[in-house]
Structure 1
Amino acid sequence: MDRADIVDQAFRDKLTTGHLPSGAAPSGPLSDTDAVAIFRAQCLSRNLDRRSRKMQAAGQGYYTIGSSGHEGMAAVASALRPSDMAFLHYRDGAFQTMRSAQVPGTTPAWDMLLSFSTSTEDPISGGRHKVLGSRSLNIPPQTSTIASHLPKAVGAAYSVGLAKRQTPEHRVLEDDSIVMCSFGDASSNHSTAQGAINTACWTSYQSVPLPLLFVCEDNGIGISTRTPRGWVAANYENKPGLKYFHADGLDLYDTYRVAKEAADYVRTRRKPAFLHLTLVRLYGHAGSDLQQAYLSKELFEGWEADDPLLHSARLLIEQGVLNAEQILAIYQEAEDQCTRVATEAVKRPRLKTASDVMASIIPPMRDCIPSNGPSEDARAVAFGSDYKQLANPQPMNKLLNWALTDLMLEHREIVMMGEDVGRKGGVYGVTQKLVDRFGPDRMIDTLLDEQSILGLAIGMAHNGFIPMPEIQFLAYLHNAEDQLRGEAATLSFFSNGQFTNPMVMRIAGLGYQKGFGGHFHNDNSLAVLRDIPGVVIACPSRGDDAAMMMRECVRLAREEQRVVVMVEPIALYPMRDLMGEKDGGWLSTYPEPDRRIGLGEVGVEGDGPLAILTYGNGRYLSTQAAADLRAQGIETRIIDLRWLAPLPLEGVLAALGGAEKVLVVDECRTTGSQSEALMAMLHEQTDLPHARIAAQDSFIATGPAYAATMPSRASITEAARTLWNAS
């Protein structure tokens, strides 16, 4: 017999016989009306769980991780406002059902049952996943089971105060809003949670406003692994900058009282708080999880005896709000509603085709206030001494700096964040002077934690900002890639385009730095970025291109709500010369502020029959090689991809018109590189003879061998000559 049915029958029997669990008497500010509303939400959540299991058993439902035992979260929802953004733990059905009661016109049973059945009419995900979430309830959908939503909750909370001083065009949160994020006791041990909470403490310790309520739902177990008794309290009750609260999550009066105190503290003090709720887990981790296989019967039957609905029934009876008959009627009404609604929900249409599934990977366009760009007077003031240098040829790092200056002048919602981006101006000087030009609110020096840097950006985008986080080196992204893969890139997909977190992430990367840093500071692998659906990857090769591509990246984020990554080749930041010392061959002048290079627009230099298809440092080296090939009578054309995802296939094919052979030059490793996709494309869509030269499958060394594993001017020349002379 399903444990859900056992718990259901026990609730009915104990309510009828009056054998209810003991506990503290009801106390606190909770009104009778609100207490009944909370109990109704608890009953609905409980019966939605039961119905989901029955739907799954009948092959009509596809999700059984329930909220049973965590119904105390309904009291937390009651203590908050619907305008408070909530990033929810996946066991927070009771929070969502309670918030629905606070917002007229919502239909929680219908909405969640459509989600269980993966109907295209599911109002949050469109049938793509069972996620808690709702646009009207201010609950962005979460798929996280390991607290990866905590960093962006920190970012959203930070944005509330910043938006008072620097109001973005598409602002969402109110001045006195707070942000709530909830998670399990097991997830609190994850490095993502630890990093996010540490970041909140670090921020609060400096008296920076951060209205954030962490809610740890402690049921004492993570799937099968027990949480040591007292561990959560010991870990969190004495953290600097973080106020600790504890409540009995089985007691709706105590939970409401403490949650209200915690929320009021966060709202008035603008500081983070940690609400620790002690709860129980009923039925096991999910429908497929047979907890009797790894837990003693005595243990889980003890949890069932502490069913929070039984505690709620006792408290309501003791308070004189309801009697047993009325309580049972509310419970039965919820079951009847779920049964009736589920009968219709399972008949609703589901996704069928790949295009149906993929329709929300790319976010929708949004209306933006037209901009004519900054005035010349404003530019003259902002640029200062640089203003007179705008017409002089410069390297990439300087032109990127100027492009960022113009963009930040034009769009006040652009905020940059990262370690050393402010006072120092970035490791390579790309953001120098920007903190003087725009202030520390828009140039945020963060702590050393890539997860928190990206979380700050994602959360701020939830409140209308255009964040531009910087990751100092490509290799450091691996510490935080789940924030991009599991959070930023999936949000539009799992919300059917209703929630977005547009951003432009800047990463200093790729190889060819002379004698510095080895593989941590020279990393020639982009595979971690290329396979994330929906992410745009830009990679400029020269300063003028970098400036114009940066403008397009910001446009994509601002108008199309895209997640964009610009990989900036470190070795090309200061590059001045091309063929000889002091020839200035790789310098370029700053393009006028209204010029940009559109997504998918490739660069073509030359019109020779031998095409060299490349990007980044490859373009620089191939330009050198082209001169050597020309001396040997071989004319080339160099096609610079510029955009690595989505690959600009139409632009490449058009640029190949009239070419006779194609050499792909890829500075990334042979395995997992862009060259694999390019070679497949050439094979499938052209009849041109083609070859490739790519980096060895190796890490990069420090010292004189810094470039030994990657293509060089000489090796490109040799590969091109070999291809051209082949019959």
Structure 2
Amino acid sequence: MDRAEIVHENFLRLCQQGDLPIGAPPTEALTKQEAITLFRAQCLSRALDRTSRAMQKAGQGFYTIGSSGHEGMAAVAHALRPDDIAFLHYRDAAFQIARAGQVPGQAITWDMLLSFACSSEDPISGGRHKVLGSKALMIPPQTSTIASHLPKAMGAAYGIGLARRHPPEHRQLPRDGIAMASFGDASANHSTAQGAINAAGWASIQSVPLPLLLVCEDNGIGISTQTPKGWIAATMGHRPGIRYFHADGLDLYDTARAAAEAAAYVRRHRKPAFLHLTMVRLYGHAGADLPTTYLPKSLVEAEEANDPLLHSVRLLDSAGALSRRDALAIYEETLARVTRVADEAVQRPRLQTASDVMASIIPPKRSCALTNGPSDEARAAAFGSDLKQMDQPQPMSRLINWALTDLMLEHSEIVVMGEDVGRKGGVYGVTRALHQRFGTDRVIDTLLDEQSILGLAIGLAHNGFIPMPEIQFLAYLHNAEDQLRGEAATLPFFSQGQFTNPMVLRIAGLGYQKGFGGHFHNDNSLAVLRDIPGLIIACPSSGADAACMLRECVRLAREEQRVVVFVEPIALYPMRDLHESGDGAWMDTYPAPDRVITLDTVGTHGDGTNLAIVSYGNGHYLSRQAQARLAADGINARVIDMRWIAPVPEAALLEATKDCDAVLIVDECRRTGGQAEGLMALFTEKTVQPVARLTAEDSFIATGPAYAATMPSADGIVNAAKALLETWE
């Protein structure tokens, strides 16, 4: 007999005998009817756990991480409103069930069983994954096991406060709402959780409105690793800026009391609170997990004797709300009903094809108010003396700054955030004066934590803002890449586009910086971004292109709800000259605010047919230098600027190169994992032209005179071009 069956038999036997666990008497936190309603939610959660295991054994279900032992979360749902956005721990079925009871028209048993069965009719993920979630219940789907949803919960809480001051067009969350995030005691130790909790406290002590309720479900173990007794209370009980509450999570009434107090505190004071609930984990981690293989049997049995459903039976009986006999009847009726419904759910259709699975990677478009661009008066007030310089050639950094200004004037829902983007104006001056032009609500100096920066952006997007977070250097993204891969990009996929978090993430990066080295400032790898499904990656090579592409990126985020990464080549920020000192050939005048460069278009420079050089970013700059030198040797080349790294503008590239004798790909990223790999495959599969590549070496970048030694150079491009043409003559 497995542990789930033992817990079930124990419940039946102990209820009948009246041999219930000892505990505190019920408080007045719940009326009799409220307590009965929550007990029904607890029983349904338990029944779904048991049924999920039976479905898996029969080959009809595909998920067995259950909520048994955590049924007290039903009382947390009771303490909140159904329009309070909730980012749930994966053991919170009871929360979702209880919340469904607060919203008319829900069929929660059917919905959750469709999810267990991976049916394409599952209303949240469409059969893509077993997740808790519901648009009607304001529960975005979560797949995280390491509390990586806490940063965006913090961001959502911030967005609730910000929307009171600057209401966005597509606001989703109520003015007086709060954001809730729940997680386990083991996940509380993860850097992601610690960063989000720290950021919440950091904001709170500065009187920033942050209505966030953090709920730690402390069952004392993470898979097989036990949490030291008292650890959560000791480490979370006195965090600056965060009010601590505690309850016995096995006691429905005590949990309801503490949850109501914590929620009232957050809603009234607009400050974060930490609700610590002590619980037990029943059955082990998941279906295949046998807790007695790594825990003493006596400890496992002691936890089972503390079954929260047994506590609820005792409490309801003591409160005069429900007799033991009636409680047992509810339990058995619920089990039977879930079994009947499951027999129907397993017959519903499932996803069959790749196109079925991928249908929700790209979020749906949304209707947006028409804009006519910023007015002349608004531009004059914002730009001041800069307006008079717009007909003079400028370097890339300044043109990006002006583009940001125009975009923020046109779209009041744009919020810029990041380290040093405000008063300092960014490390390279790209966000200079934005703080003065738009204020601290729209240009936010964040703490030094990339996970919190991206979490803030994701959370703001949940409430209708268009976040434009900045990561100071490309390599800094590696500290937080899961916020893109595991949170932002997966949200529409696992919610069938019902939840989205559009943004334009600006990253200063790539190589060729003479004053920096190592792997944190000079970083020439985009590989970690390129393999994220649905992500758009832009990489301009000139100032005018940067301004026009940034406008398209904002349109893609605002109207098509896309997650976009805008990679800005740091080495090109100040670039003025192309061929010789003082020629000013790499500067541009500022393109009019209505000019854009759309996705899937490339830039073509020259009309030579001997050779097409395909590149981007710094590689494009070097290729233009090589182009002139090749022309002097009688080789007429054209240079193609990719502009868009993902999705690769395949049709445009093939069209731009089709009448050339050969194609040379110049990739400033590393040979392994760089863009050249995919481009080589594209041209090899689609054309008969000879094709070669010149890439950076698989190396980190050195400081000092050797900063460019491992990357393509103008000389290297010239040599590679000649070698390619000579080989195929």
Which residue in 2 is equivalent to 1:592? 592
Percent identity between matched residues is: 71
Q: How does 1:309-388 map to 2 (within 5 A)?
A: 309-388=309-388
Which residue in 2 is equivalent to 1:618? 619
Which residue in 2 is equivalent to 1:717? 718
DSSP 3-state at the match of 1:654: helix
Query: Structure 1, residues 654-711: CA drift from partner, whole Å, max 9, x if none?
Result: 1012111000000001010000000011111100001110001110011011101100
Which residue in 2 is equivalent to 1:293? 293
Query: Structure 1, residues 498-542: CA drift from partner, whole Å, max 9, x if none?
Result: 100000000000001112243311100000000000000000000
Which residue in 2 is equivalent to 1:116? 116
DSSP 3-state at the match of 2:392: coil
Which residue in 2 is equivalent to 1:672? 673
Q: How does 1:324-473 map to 2 (within 5 A)?
A: 324-473=324-473
For residues 265 and 515 of structure 2, the distance between their equivalents in structure 1, rounded to whole angstroms, comes to 53
For residues 597 and 139 of structure 1, the distance between their equivalents in structure 2, rounded to whole angstroms, comes to 37
Q: How does 1:574-653 map to 2 (within 5 A)?
A: 574-609=574-609, 610-653=611-654
Which residue in 2 is equivalent to 1:98? 98
Which residue in 2 is equivalent to 1:567? 567
- Aligned partners of 1:41 and 1:97 also within 8 Å: yes
Q: How does 1:462-611 map to 2 (within 5 A)?
A: 462-609=462-609, 610-611=611-612
For residues 370 and 353 of structure 1, the distance between their equivalents in structure 2, rounded to whole angstroms, comes to 38
Which amino acid in 2 is paired with 1:229? K
For residues 337 and 408 of structure 2, the distance between their equivalents in structure 1, rounded to whole angstroms, comes to 53
Q: Give the drift of 1:80.
A: 0.5
Q: Give the drift of 1:362.
A: 0.6
Q: How does 1:238-257 map to 2 (within 5 A)?
A: 238-257=238-257
Which amino acid in 2 is paired with 1:406? D
Q: Give the drift of 1:93.
A: 0.3
Which residue in 1 is equivalent to 2:191? 191
- Aligned partners of 1:507 and 1:567 also within 8 Å: yes
Which amino acid in 1 is paired with 2:17? T
- Aligned partners of 2:600 and 2:644 also within 8 Å: yes
- Aligned partners of 1:28 and 1:254 also within 8 Å: no
DSSP 3-state at the match of 1:214: strand
Which residue in 1 is equivalent to 2:169? 169
DSSP 3-state at the match of 2:519: helix
Query: Structure 1, residues 616-638: CA drift from partner, whole Å, max 9, x if none?
Result: 00111000000000000000010
For residues 555 and 33 of structure 1, the distance between their equivalents in structure 2, rounded to whole angstroms, comes to 50
For residues 51 and 214 of structure 1, the distance between their equivalents in structure 2, rounded to whole angstroms, comes to 30
For residues 160 and 183 of structure 1, the distance between their equivalents in structure 2, rounded to whole angstroms, comes to 21
- Aligned partners of 1:196 and 1:452 also within 8 Å: yes
Q: Give the drift of 1:326.
A: 1.2
- Aligned partners of 1:390 and 1:590 also within 8 Å: yes
For residues 661 and 222 of structure 1, the distance between their equivalents in structure 2, rounded to whole angstroms, comes to 57
Which amino acid in 2 is paired with 1:30? L
Q: How does 1:278-289 map to 2 (within 5 A)?
A: 278-289=278-289
DSSP 3-state at the match of 2:487: helix
Which residue in 1 is equivalent to 2:223? 223
- Aligned partners of 1:540 and 1:546 also within 8 Å: yes
For residues 517 and 612 of structure 1, the distance between their equivalents in structure 2, rounded to whole angstroms, comes to 28
Q: TM-score, normalised by structure 1?
A: 1.00
Q: Give the drift of 1:333.
A: 2.0
DSSP 3-state at the match of 1:463: coil
Q: Give the drift of 1:476.
A: 0.4
DSSP 3-state at the match of 2:706: coil
For residues 152 and 143 of structure 1, the distance between their equivalents in structure 2, rounded to whole angstroms, comes to 14
DSSP 3-state at the match of 1:519: coil
Which residue in 2 is equivalent to 1:127? 127
Which amino acid in 2 is paired with 1:720? A
Q: Give the drift of 1:608.
A: 1.0
Which amino acid in 2 is paired with 1:103? V
For residues 320 and 413 of structure 1, the distance between their equivalents in structure 2, rounded to whole angstroms, comes to 53
Which amino acid in 1 is paired with 2:621? Y
DSSP 3-state at the match of 1:181: strand
Query: Structure 1, residues 467-520: CA drift from partner, whole Å, max 9, x if none?
Result: 000000001000000000000000000111110000000000000111224331
Q: How does 1:28-177 map to 2 (within 5 A)?
A: 28-177=28-177
- Aligned partners of 2:29 and 2:254 also within 8 Å: no
Q: Give the drift of 1:29.
A: 2.5
Q: Give the drift of 1:337.
A: 1.6
Between 1:326-335 and 1:668-677, the stretch displaced more is: 326-335
Query: Structure 1, residues 45-100: CA drift from partner, whole Å, max 9, x if none?
Result: 00000000000000000000000000000000001000100000000000000000
Query: Structure 1, residues 18-46: CA drift from partner, whole Å, max 9, x if none?
Result: 10111000013311111111101000000
Which residue in 2 is equivalent to 1:27? 27
Q: TM-score, normalised by structure 2?
A: 0.99
For residues 318 and 58 of structure 1, the distance between their equivalents in structure 2, rounded to whole angstroms, comes to 40
- Aligned partners of 1:518 and 1:706 also within 8 Å: no
For residues 85 and 13 of structure 1, the distance between their equivalents in structure 2, rounded to whole angstroms, comes to 39
Q: Give the drift of 1:412.
A: 0.3
For residues 296 and 494 of structure 1, the distance between their equivalents in structure 2, rounded to whole angstroms, comes to 38
DSSP 3-state at the match of 1:704: helix
- Aligned partners of 1:475 and 1:521 also within 8 Å: yes
For residues 341 and 373 of structure 2, the distance between their equivalents in structure 1, rounded to whole angstroms, comes to 53
Which residue in 2 is equivalent to 1:698? 699
For residues 490 and 247 of structure 1, the distance between their equivalents in structure 2, rounded to whole angstroms, comes to 34
- Aligned partners of 1:172 and 1:464 also within 8 Å: yes
Query: Structure 1, residues 399-448: CA drift from partner, whole Å, max 9, x if none?
Result: 00010001000000000100000000111100000011100100000000
- Aligned partners of 1:82 and 1:138 also within 8 Å: yes
CA RMSD of aligned residues (A): 0.7
For residues 408 and 32 of structure 1, the distance between their equivalents in structure 2, rounded to whole angstroms, comes to 53
Which residue in 2 is equivalent to 1:204? 204
For residues 11 and 34 of structure 1, the distance between their equivalents in structure 2, rounded to whole angstroms, comes to 22
Q: Give the drift of 1:567.
A: 0.5
For residues 515 and 701 of structure 1, the distance between their equivalents in structure 2, rounded to whole angstroms, comes to 10
Which amino acid in 2 is paired with 1:250? L
Which amino acid in 1 is paired with 2:625? Q
Q: Give the drift of 1:611.
A: 0.2
Q: Give the drift of 1:330.
A: 1.2
Q: Give the drift of 1:282.
A: 0.3
Which residue in 1 is equivalent to 2:685? 684
Between 1:28-37 and 1:525-534, the stretch displaced more is: 28-37
- Aligned partners of 1:156 and 1:463 also within 8 Å: yes
For residues 594 and 568 of structure 2, the distance between their equivalents in structure 1, rounded to whole angstroms, comes to 21
Which amino acid in 1 is paired with 2:124? I
- Aligned partners of 2:517 and 2:707 also within 8 Å: no
Query: Structure 1, residues 320-361: CA drift from partner, whole Å, max 9, x if none?
Result: 011112111211221122111101000000001000000000
Q: Give the drift of 1:563.
A: 0.3
- Aligned partners of 1:515 and 1:704 also within 8 Å: no
For residues 135 and 476 of structure 1, the distance between their equivalents in structure 2, rounded to whole angstroms, comes to 33
Gapped runs of 5+ residues in structure 1? none
Which amino acid in 1 is paired with 2:103? V
Q: Give the drift of 1:390.
A: 1.2
DSSP 3-state at the match of 2:144: coil
Count of aligned positions: 727
Q: Structure 1 residue 271 and structure 2 residue 268: aligned?
A: no
For residues 35 and 624 of structure 2, the distance between their equivalents in structure 1, rounded to whole angstroms, comes to 73
Q: Give the drift of 1:5.
A: 1.7
Q: Structure 1 residue 656 and structure 2 residue 657: aligned?
A: yes
For residues 16 and 29 of structure 2, the distance between their equivalents in structure 1, rounded to whole angstroms, comes to 29
For residues 538 and 121 of structure 1, the distance between their equivalents in structure 2, rounded to whole angstroms, comes to 35
For residues 658 and 447 of structure 1, the distance between their equivalents in structure 2, rounded to whole angstroms, comes to 52
Gapped runs of 5+ residues in structure 2? none
For residues 472 and 489 of structure 2, the distance between their equivalents in structure 1, rounded to whole angstroms, comes to 21
For residues 171 and 258 of structure 1, the distance between their equivalents in structure 2, rounded to whole angstroms, comes to 30
